[in-house]
Chains A and B, each alone.
Chain A
Amino acid sequence: MTSDLAPAQAAQPSGSSTATPAPPADRVEPTIQASDLVKTYRGGVRALDGLSFSVAPGTVFGLLGPNGAGKSTTVKILTTLSRPDSGTATVAGLDILAHPGQVRQAIGVVTQRSGIDLEATGRENIALAAHLHGLSRAGMATRVTDLLQRFELTQAADRPARTYSGGMLRKLDVAVGLVHRPSVLFLDEPTTGLDPHARAQMWDEIGSLAADGLTILLTTHYLEEADRLASKVAIIDDGRILVEGSPDELKSELRGDAVHLELAAVADTALADRVTTALNEVPGVSETTVDGREVHSRVADGASSLPAVFAALDRVDVTVIAATIARPSLDDVYLRHVGHRFVATGEAGPRADNAAPRADDAAPRADDAGEKGTRGKGVQAQKKEVA
C-alpha cells in the first residue's frame, strides 16, 4: 500500500488502523502537554493563569468552560497562533515555541471563526490547504474528492462556499483541517451556532474521527457535547483548570442524585434561607442552592427522598410547582466546582440525554423560555439519533 508517512515510520505495522488499541494514558508520552501557561492581554486581562493539562494519544479531550474562560486562548497558544507570556507546551511531541513550523504540520485546526474563503468553492478551499501542506499532486485530487465525499459536500463541491449553510461550512472547515492527515485535531467550539440537526451530524463526525484514533482537543461550552464526545474533560474557569477527569469520574464524585425544584415564586434572600434550612433538615439532602425560582439539591436516593422534601417545604409554606430528579450530570459537576449554573452562559441543554432515564423530559427547562423552541427540537434530534 502507498503510505504518506516518512521512511522513519515505514516499520510501523500497516493495515488495520483501528485494531491498535489506545495505550493506557499514564504510560505514554502525552500528545498534548501544557504546563503553567500564562497569558495576559493588553489591559491586564489574565486569560490564562497557570493552565496545565495533558492529552493522551488517540483520545478526545474536552476543555469545558463558559465564554471568556480561556478556552480559545489555550487553543491559540497550542496551535502556534499566539505565544504564552510564560509556560511551555508540546504538541505531537514538539515544543510549540521552539518548533512552531513543525507543530503546524502535525495539527489540524478548526477555529471558532471558521477560516473558509467564501469566494472559493469547497473543493478549492480543500485543494489550497493541500497545496500549502505540500501534498503530492498524484494523491491530492483523490484526497480532496474523498474528503468532500466523507463530509457529504460532493454535491456542493463546486459552488462558492458563500452559498453553504452553517453546518456545511463547519464540515468544510473540518475537511480542510484534515487534508494533510494531522495527528492532532483542534476543534474550537465546533458546534456553536449550529442548528440541532447540524450539531448532531457534527457530533457523529467527531465521534467517527475519534474512533479512527485521532487525538482531538475539543473546546465547548456545551456540557452535553463534552459528556458525549470526550473521554476526558477539564473544566476551565478564569484561565485555570478547576477539575479534570473522565465524565464518569467527575460524575461519580457526586454522591446520589440531583433534585431540581421549581418554586412558584422567585426566592428573595429570606425565602432562599428558609428553603435551604428546611431542606438541610431532611435526612440525606445536601448541597442545596437556590437560584431565582430554581432549587438544586443532592439526595442519596432521589425517588424515596422526594416526599420528605415536599413535606419539609410545605411546612415552611413554600410552593413547589415542578420537581425533577436526575442522575448526576456534568452540569452538576460544574455547579459544584464553579458555584453557579453553567446554563447562565449559553444555550446548552446539558441534561438532555443524561437525565433521560429518570428525569421528566417533558419539562426540560421551563425557565429558559427563549431557548425552548430550539431545545425541544434538539432533544428530539438527539433521541432519534440515540435510538
Chain B
Amino acid sequence: MSGTTDTTDNAGTAAHPDSAVTGAGTSTAIADSTTRPGLSTDIPVPRPGSVPAPATEYAASAGRQLRWLTVRHLRAMLRQPAYLAITIVQAVVWLPLFGSLFRRVVDVPGFGGGSYFDFLTPGVVVMSALFSAGWSGMRVIVDIDRGVMDRMLTSPVRKSALISSALVYQAVVTTIQSIIIMLLGWAVGTHYRNGLVGPAVLLSAASLVAVTVAAFSHALALIVRKEDALIAAVNFAILPLTFMSSAIMARNLMPGWMQVIARVNPVDWAVSAAREAGSTDPDWLTVSIYLCCLTALATMAGMLATRAFDAYRRSL
C-alpha cells in the first residue's frame, strides 16, 4: 500500500492528545456539519485521536439523507426489474380475471348498475398497491440479514430518513403500477371522468394505502426479523383487508357486520374516494375527508415504523 499512500489521505492520522476533550468545542464545531470544505486528497489531513463533540447529532441534512437512501432503493429496483414486473403482471391479470368473473354483479339489485370495469379498476389499483406494499418489509429483513441495517444504525442517519426513503420508494412503485393498471382499464373500457382529477385522486389514494401498509410491514419486519413470520402476518392481513372493502363488491351488498368493518378499513376509504372522484357528480367534501383520513393514517404508520427501530435496537 505504501505506493498509494501519498495519493490517499488516510482516514485518521496522528493522534493529538491535547484535543482529547469531552464534549468541548460544540459551539465552534457547528460549521463542521454545514460547511465541510473539500476533502483534500493529495495531502494527508491530520486528525486528532479524539474529536470534539460535533454540535449536531446528524452530519448530513435530512433532505440529503432521504434523497440518497431513496436513490439506493430505486436503483436496486431498476437493476432487478423482475420484482416490479411480477407485481404488475399480477395486477394486470386481476383486472380481466375479476372483470370476467364478476361481470354480472352489476345486474344485482342494489349494485347501482353501470360498467363493472368502471367499478373494478379503482379496486384493482388499490388492491395491487396493498399487495406490493405488504411485502415491502422483506427488503428490511434482507438488509438486516446482510448487515446493512446495522451499518445504517451505526451511522449518523436519521431513523425517519431510513423509513421515509422506503415509503417514498413504495409510493413511486405504486404510482408506476397504478398508471399501468389504469391504462389497461382504459383499454378494456373503463371510463375516467372529471378530467385528470379522478385518476389523480386514485393515484394519491393508492399511494397513501401503499405507504401505510409499507410502514406497518417495515415495523413488523423490524420487530419479527424473520421472513417466515412476516410472510405469515402479511398473508393473514391482506386478504381480509381486500375483501372487507368495496374493492370488488359494492359495500351495500355486504353483510351488515362486514359493512361496519369496511367503514374503518383504509382500503375501502381509498377505493371509495377514487370512485367518488370518478363519478358523474362527485362530492368533493367526501373525497377530501377520505384523503385526509388516509394521510393521517399514513403519517401515524410512518411514525410507528420509526419507533420500531428502537425495538430492533433493544433486541440486539
Chain A positions within 8 Å of B, measured between CB atoms, are 1-9, 12-23, 27-29, 31, 42, 57-58, 76, 79-83, 90, 92-95, 99-102, 104-109, 111-120, 124, 127-129, 131-136, 138-140, 142-143, 146-147, 149-150, 160, 176, 178-185, 204-205, 208-209, 212-215
CB neighbors of A among B227-285 (8 A)? none
Q: Please, what's the 1-or-0 string for B179-200, where 1 marks a CB less than 8 Å from any CB in chain A? A: 0000000000000000000000
B29 touches A6 (CB 8 A): yes
**Min C-beta distance of B154 to chain A, whole Å:** 4
Given contacts A9-B52, A100-B57, 5 further A-B contacts (CB under 8 A): A1-B45, A12-B16, A12-B46, A115-B151, A183-B49
A105 touches B54 (CB 8 A): yes
* Assembled-state Cα–Cα distance A135/B20 (Å): 23
Residues in B whose Cβ lies below 8 Å from that of A131: 60, 64-65, 67-68
| Residue in B7, B9, B316 whose CB lies within 8 Å of A82 | B316
| Residue in B12, B39, B44 whose CB lies within 8 Å of A143 | B39
B75 touches A120 (CB 8 A): yes
| Residue in A8, A116, A135 whose CB lies within 8 Å of B25 | A8
Interface of B is mostly: loop
| Residue in B1, B31, B49, B151 whose CB lies within 8 Å of A6 | B31
- Which single residue of chain B is at the shortest CB-CB distance from A21? B14
Interface of A is mostly: loop
- Which single residue of chain A is at the shortest CB-CB distance from B64? A131
Chain B positions within 8 Å of A, measured between CB atoms, are 1-2, 4-5, 7-17, 19-23, 25, 28-29, 31-33, 35-41, 43-54, 56-61, 64-65, 67-69, 72, 75-76, 79-80, 145-148, 150-157, 313-316
Residues in A whose Cβ lies below 8 Å from that of B155: 104, 129, 132-133
Question: 7 pairs across A/B with beta carbons < 8 Å?
Answer: A4-B37, A57-B17, A92-B51, A132-B69, A138-B38, A139-B40, A146-B9
| Residue in B10, B36, B41 whose CB lies within 8 Å of A17 | B10
A208 touches B41 (CB 8 A): no
Residues in B whose Cβ lies below 8 Å from that of A118: 146
| Residue in B8, B29, B45, B49 whose CB lies within 8 Å of A57 | B49
B13 touches A213 (CB 8 A): yes
- Which single residue of chain A is at the shortest CB-CB distance from B161? A132
**Min C-beta distance of B312 to chain A, whole Å:** 10
Residues in B whose Cβ lies below 8 Å from that of A147: 8
B154 touches A135 (CB 8 A): no
Q: A6-B25, A13-B46, A149-B4 are in contact. Are A93 and B65 (CB under 8 A)?
A: no
**Min C-beta distance of A102 to chain B, whole Å:** 5
| Residue in B11, B17, B36 whose CB lies within 8 Å of A136 | B36
Residues in A whose Cβ lies below 8 Å from that of B146: 113-118
B75 touches A101 (CB 8 A): no
**Min C-beta distance of A57 to chain B, whole Å:** 3
| Residue in B17, B45, B50 whose CB lies within 8 Å of A4 | B45
Residues in A whose Cβ lies below 8 Å from that of B65: 131-132
Closest 3 CB pairs between A and B? Answer: A101-B57, A57-B49, A113-B147
Residue picked from A17, A90, A118, A209, most chain B C-beta under 10 Å? A17
| Residue in A79, A113, A213 whose CB lies within 8 Å of B14 | A213
* Assembled-state Cα–Cα distance A134/B59 (Å): 5
Residues in A whose Cβ lies below 8 Å from that of B5: 150, 208
Residues in B whose Cβ lies below 8 Å from that of A19: 14
- Which single residue of chain B is at the shortest CB-CB distance from A91? B50
A9 touches B36 (CB 8 A): no
A111 touches B147 (CB 8 A): yes
* Assembled-state Cα–Cα distance A112/B1 (Å): 24
Residues in B whose Cβ lies below 8 Å from that of A106: 50-51, 54
A181 touches B148 (CB 8 A): no
Q: A31-B49, A115-B150 are in contact. Are A128 and B68 (CB under 8 A)?
A: yes
Residues in A whose Cβ lies below 8 Å from that of B45: 1-5, 14, 17, 181
A80 touches B154 (CB 8 A): yes
A104 touches B154 (CB 8 A): yes
Residues in A whose Cβ lies below 8 Å from that of B54: 6, 102, 105-106
A212 touches B39 (CB 8 A): no
- Which single residue of chain A is at the shortest CB-CB distance from B77? A119
Residues in B whose Cβ lies below 8 Å from that of A15: 46
**Min C-beta distance of A101 to chain B, whole Å:** 3
Residues in A whose Cβ lies below 8 Å from that of B147: 111-116
B153 touches A81 (CB 8 A): yes
- Which single residue of chain B is at the shortest CB-CB distance from A119? B76
* Assembled-state Cα–Cα distance A93/B20 (Å): 6
Residue picked from B37, B49, B65, B72, most chain A C-beta under 10 Å? B49
* Assembled-state Cα–Cα distance A124/B74 (Å): 13
Q: A9-B48, A90-B22 are in contact. Are A116 and B15 (CB under 8 A)?
A: no
Residues in A whose Cβ lies below 8 Å from that of B67: 131
Residues in B whose Cβ lies below 8 Å from that of A209: 10-12
